[in-house]
Amino acid sequence: MIRPAVFLDRDGTVNVERSYITRPEDIHLIPHAATAIGRLKAAGYAVVLVTNQAAVAKGLLTEVELGGIHKHLESLLSCSGVFLDAIYYCPHHSQFPSSSSDPECSCRKPSPGMILQAARDLDLDLGKSFMVGDSLSDLQAGWSAGCRAALVLTGHGEHTHLEASDEDLRRVDLIAESLADVGEWICGLQPSIP
């Protein structure tokens, strides 16, 4: 059955922002992020992580090592009984060509490629879905895919809020302190999905 989703940026939205996370032990959840994900899942939303990972293109870590970082993230969430539906990542960056770079990349946010792929893979209704992140590129990816968008003020969110144009800010559906507040807002719009 087709269902809506909440797409989440990783760094600065779910886990504490750091320059480049290259080891599992560098992942630390933002307070109440796991609770918010659990609440969204309980309300019937698919919850999907979509993350740019230029560290791979820069040669700071391999895709196998990135998989270990994501496994650790999922382990931290599972301690709260929370599970993501999927994780999508973009290992490309045009300024850092490497064996994993792709000049035709359509997955790096602000492009909507990861969201569109998730919709195909998981049978998601993008018109009823949300993109949540701390950067303008997160929001733009969501808008390009036909989703509503929420800006969190964690991570780079405060800077994004200050630097975004008035036009972009008018398009944002919610500006919130954290993912916990976004989860509460989304669930309040439609408490449960049949």
Cis before residue 110, ω within 30 degrees of 0? yes
* Domain with 168 in it: 5-189
**b (16+ CB within 10 A) / e for 34-56:** bbbbbbbbebebbbbbbbbbbbb
Structure confidence at residue 55 as a pLDDT band (50, 70, 90) = confident
Question: Higher-confidence residue: 130 or 18?
Answer: 130
Inform me whether the pLDDT recorded for 99 exceeds 90.
Answer: no
Q: Read off the CATH number of the domain in which 136 is found.
A: 3.40.50.1000
Residues 82-111: what's their mean pLDDT? 79
Question: Residue 32 falls within a domain, yes or no?
Answer: yes
Number of domains in the chain: 1
Q: Is residue 40 part of a domain?
A: yes
Mean pLDDT of 112-120: 97
Question: Which pairing describes strands 130-133 and 5-8: parallel, antiparallel, or unpaired?
Answer: parallel
Q: Is residue 119 assigned to a domain?
A: yes
**Span 148-157, average pLDDT:** 98
In a domain, 110, yes or no: yes
Q: In the Cβ-directed half-sphere of 25, how many Cα atoms lie within 13 Å? A: 0
Instruction: Give domain status of residue 9, yes or no.
Output: yes
pLDDT at 103: 58
Please report whether residue 194 resides in a domain: no
pLDDT higher than threshold 80 for residue 100 = no
